[in-house]
Each structure stands twice: as structure tokens, then as C-alpha cells.
Amino acid sequence: MINMFRRDFLLGSSALVLGQAGKSLASGDETTGLKDRAARRGMTYGCALGADQISRQPLLVKRIVQECGILVPENDLKWRVTGENPVRPDYSRGESLVRFATQHGMLLRGHTAAWYKSQPDWAVAALTSAEAVALVIERVQSVVGHFSGRIVEWDVVNEAVEPRDGLPNRLRNSPEYRYGGLEYIADCFHAARGADPKAKLYYNDYGLEYDSEDEEARRRGVLDLLSALKAANTPVDGLGIQSHLKVGNRFNAERFRRFLGDVASLGLEIRLTELDVNDERVQGDPIVRDEAVASHARAFLAAALEETAVRGVLTWGLSDSTSWLSSTVSRRDGSKPRPLPLDAMMLRKPLWTAIAESFDGAPIRN
Ligand code: G3I
């Protein structure tokens, strides 16, 4: 039955398609999920989820329970979502996710307390003066404090570094960084630690993975930022590397490993927080595309998981049917991207196998 579903989905009548489906299913029995493969090495695996998916997508939910040991709200805790009312934040969607995670024995990450890109309109209007930076600090206290003891790890500040903007310290040219700079970022972390003394506090960013001048500049900017925060005794515990990968981008394992080593030597842990693989540049049938996605991820994960400071991996969704890339990528053949470990029928793809085997090949964490 399962093979038939997959065969129909891939529009495949050929033995090749059936062979691929067989291979993908044989790569792990149904009861052993990615969370188990990660746990054997002392790591965690999980994915992003939206509260509305819990009731609306039973098949997805079933697979999430099988595969994930940790969840992160894709959007539900962003300020733009919780903060429509300036005096009464709405944490109901976050509460649903806490209930779901607790019910299934999963951990929950918080995403994200302070992000320049997800602020309610009233806050954006207020953030034009230096004093208004205090608003963000209040928001950090509010959301981290509300879920204190229930969320194990927070992306406290998201995407603060943008070397191309030309600000000192390579920070992003948005009001909070213009007015508050590094001190503002440190204040966000102090506020989070005060609101939940036990949660691990992460700085999270993208564009740190590839071998390009842009990404090398961002890696330097992030390292400088983290070093400065540590030097000022800021309570930062880790770096989240988003890991939005794209087939065709140049990856240099040695250079990336050096970066991870530099981060680890600051006494920080690391997590791959939003892994997915954009296959926009790969033409061909789903089999060709899925293999290209898997082999791209394999090279990246081999380098990343070799570093024992890396504590685990989250993918940005579990199934291709819910990926944010479906609404942002337009493929020449008009088909949807295939960036995640499960296909739209909730069946395991070669990317699932690549992640599972990358966990298997990684050194054991204490
Ligand atoms: O829910 C509303 C819906 O009511 C409305 O009708 C519709 C009209 O546009 O918008 C819906 O909200 C959208 C939401 O996704 C849910 O689909 C927002 O417009 C849209 O901006 C939002 O995009 C999210 C984006 O962050 C911005 O917050 C993506 O789902 C989410 O995957 C993406 O995630 C980010 C991480 O937080 C940070 N790293 C990069 C990553 C990918 O961009």
C-alpha cells in the first residue's frame, strides 16, 4: 500500500521508481526515527511545526511523533504573531505546542525572542527612536518569562549580522542595531536569562555555511559578535546555524569545520536549527532531485556533525508538503521543491537516509 502511494505520487510506472521507494523505506524500520538515530550519538533531532498543523494534519503529526525528539514553532512565537495587541500578548498557539510536546515527551525550542523581521506594526513605528529599544527588551522578558521552565532553549536574537550593511561590528542596519548596537544584543540575552535562568540561550543566523566571500564575511561578523558577547560576560550558550542549504552552492568542509571549531573554542554549543535543501537548480525527475538533495546534505552534515559541540539538528518542517520554500521557490518545471526528509505522502526520502546515516557516522557526545 505504502509503495503504491509512493509510486502514484512520483507518477512512476518504472521499476526504477519502485526500486527507489524500496530503498528509501529499507533505510530504517518504521519504529526507529531520526530522533533515535540522533540519540544514539547523544544528539537530538526535531523539526519546525505550527500549532494549527496539530489538529489539521493528523498524518504529519503521526510522523512527527515517530521522528522528532524536539520541536520548534515555525512562526507561533514570533512577535508579529503574538504581539498584535501591544498590552496583551497572545501566547495561545505557543501553549498548544507546549501541550503537544509535553504529551509526546518532546522538548521545545523557542524561536525567536528578538528578530528585526517579525515585529508588530505598532512596534516598528515605535522603533525609530533610541529609547524604543527598551520595547524589544520588554518583549524578550515577556515571551521567555511566560514559557519559563517549559522551553529548554531559545533563539534569543535572530539574524543580527549583515556585513553588507556597512555598520560597525558588521551588525544589521535596522533601528535596534543602529541605536542599541552590541549593548542592545547583550541586554536581550541578560533579559532572557533573568526571565528563565535554566533555558539555554542561542544566537541564531543564516548564510554561514558556504564558501563565498559574503558568507565568509558573515562568519567573521558572527564570530566577532560572539567573542565580544563572551568577553562582556553575556549569558550566551550557543550558536544556531540555520542551514538553509541549496544544491549547487559551493561548500568547503575544511573552512566550515574551522568556523565550528572557532565557535566551540569560545565555550559555545552549536545546533543546526533550520535545515532544508533547496533543489531549485536541479532539473529532472524526483529521483534525480532527491539524490542531489541528499548528497548535498550528506557532505554538509559529515563536516558539521564531526564537531562534537554540535548538539543536534532540526529541519525546517518534516514533510515537503509544509515547507516555506513551496511559496518562495519557483521551479522552471512548475513543480514544488523537495527540500525535507519526508515527501508529501509522508514517506522517507533519500534525505531522511542521509540525515540518519550522518548521525550514525558522528562521534558520540557526552
Ligand atoms: O498566517 C497568515 C495568514 O493568515 C495570511 O492570510 C497569510 C497572507 O500572507 O500570511 C500568513 O502568514 C504567513 C506565515 O508565514 C504563515 O504562512 C506570513 O505572511 C509569512 O511572512 C510567514 O513566513 C514565515 C517567515 O519565516 C517570516 O516570519 C515562514 O513561514 C517561516 O518559514 C520563515 O522562517 C524563517 C525563520 O523564522 C528564520 N530563518 C529563516 C526562515 C525562512 O525564511
**Would you say the CB of residue 74 lies under 6 angstroms from ligand 1?**
yes
Specify the ligand 1 atom closest to the Cα of 111.
37
Q: pLDDT tens digit string along 257-275?
A: 999 999 999 999 999 999 9
Residue to probe by mutation, ligand 1, list 324, 325, 326, 328, most atoms within 8 Å of CB: 324
Q: pLDDT tens digit string along 13-26?
A: 333 333 343 344 44
pLDDT bin (cut points 50, 70, 90) of residue 341 is: very high
- Name the pairing type of β-strands 269-278 and 153-158: unpaired
**The C-alpha cell that represents 364 in the structure block:** 558520540
Q: pLDDT tens digit string along 272-290?
A: 999 999 999 999 999 999 9
pLDDT of residue 29: 67
**Would you say the CB of residue 276 lies under 6 angstroms from ligand 1?**
no
- Name the E strands within 215-356: 238-241, 244-246, 269-278, 310-315
Sequence-distant (≥ 6) Cβ neighbours of residue 297 within 8 angstroms: 245, 275, 277, 351, 354, 355, 358
Residue pair 315/48 in contact (Cβ under 8 Å)? The answer is yes
Per-chain mean pLDDT for the chain: 92
Instruction: Please state, in angstroms and as integers, the Cα–Cα distance from residue 198 to each residue in 95, 138, 194, 201, 293, following that order.
Output: 19, 19, 9, 9, 37
**Would you say the CB of residue 273 lies under 6 angstroms from ligand 1?**
no
- 176-180, 232-236, 253-257, range with the lowest pLDDT: 176-180
**The C-alpha cell that represents 246 in the structure block:** 541549496
Q: pLDDT tens digit string along 106-163?
A: 999 999 999 999 999 999 988 887 777 899 999 999 999 999 999 999 999 999 999 9
Q: How far apart (Å, rounded) are the C-alpha atoms in residues 214 and 140?
A: 30
Q: Find the 53 Cα to ligand 1 centroid distance in Å.
A: 14
- Classify the phi-psi angles of 284: left when phi > 0, otherwise alpha if psi is within -120 to 50, otherwise beta: left
Q: Find the 75 Cα to ligand 1 centroid distance in Å.
A: 6
Sequence-distant (≥ 6) Cβ neighbours of residue 76 within 8 angstroms: 50, 51, 82, 93, 94, 96, 97
Sequence-distant (≥ 6) Cβ neighbours of residue 364 within 8 angstroms: 40, 41, 42
**Would you say the CB of residue 322 lies under 6 angstroms from ligand 1?**
no
Report the candidate in 80, 83, 224 with the shortest Cα–Cα distance to residue 163. Answer: 224
**Would you say the CB of residue 119 lies under 6 angstroms from ligand 1?**
no
Cis before 44 (ω within 30): no
Nearest residue (CA) to ligand 1, atom 26: 75
Instruction: Please state, in angstroms and as integers, the Cα–Cα distance from residue 104 to each residue in 45, 66, 111, 132, following that order.
Output: 14, 10, 20, 40
DSSP-based three-state secondary structure for 281: coil
- Classify the phi-psi angles of 165: left when phi > 0, otherwise alpha if psi is within -120 to 50, otherwise beta: alpha
Report the candidate in 5, 1, 27, 39 with the shortest Cα–Cα distance to residue 291. Answer: 27
Nearest residue (CA) to ligand 1, atom 17: 324
**Would you say the CB of residue 174 lies under 6 angstroms from ligand 1?**
no
Nearest residue (CA) to ligand 1, atom 25: 75
Tally the residues of the chain.
366
Residue pair 17/287 in contact (Cβ under 8 Å)? The answer is yes
State residue 197 phi and psi, 5-degree precision.
-65, -20
Specify the ligand 1 atom closest to the Cα of 118.
28
As a whole number, mean pLDDT of residues 309-319 equals: 98
Which pTM does this prediction carry? 0.93
**Would you say the CB of residue 75 lies under 6 angstroms from ligand 1?**
yes
Q: Find the 80 Cα to ligand 1 centroid distance in Å.
A: 10
Specify the ligand 1 atom closest to the Cα of 158.
38
Specify the ligand 1 atom closest to the Cα of 324.
32
pLDDT of residue 289: 98
Q: How far apart (Å, rounded) are the C-alpha atoms in residues 339 and 278?
A: 5
Report the candidate in 218, 238, 240 with the shortest Cα–Cα distance to residue 229. Answer: 238
Instruction: Dihedral sign for Cα 122, 155, 350, 33, please.
Output: negative
**Would you say the CB of residue 323 lies under 6 angstroms from ligand 1?**
no
Q: Find the 361 Cα to ligand 1 centroid distance in Å.
A: 34
Q: How far apart (Å, rounded) are the C-alpha atoms in residues 239 and 92?
A: 28
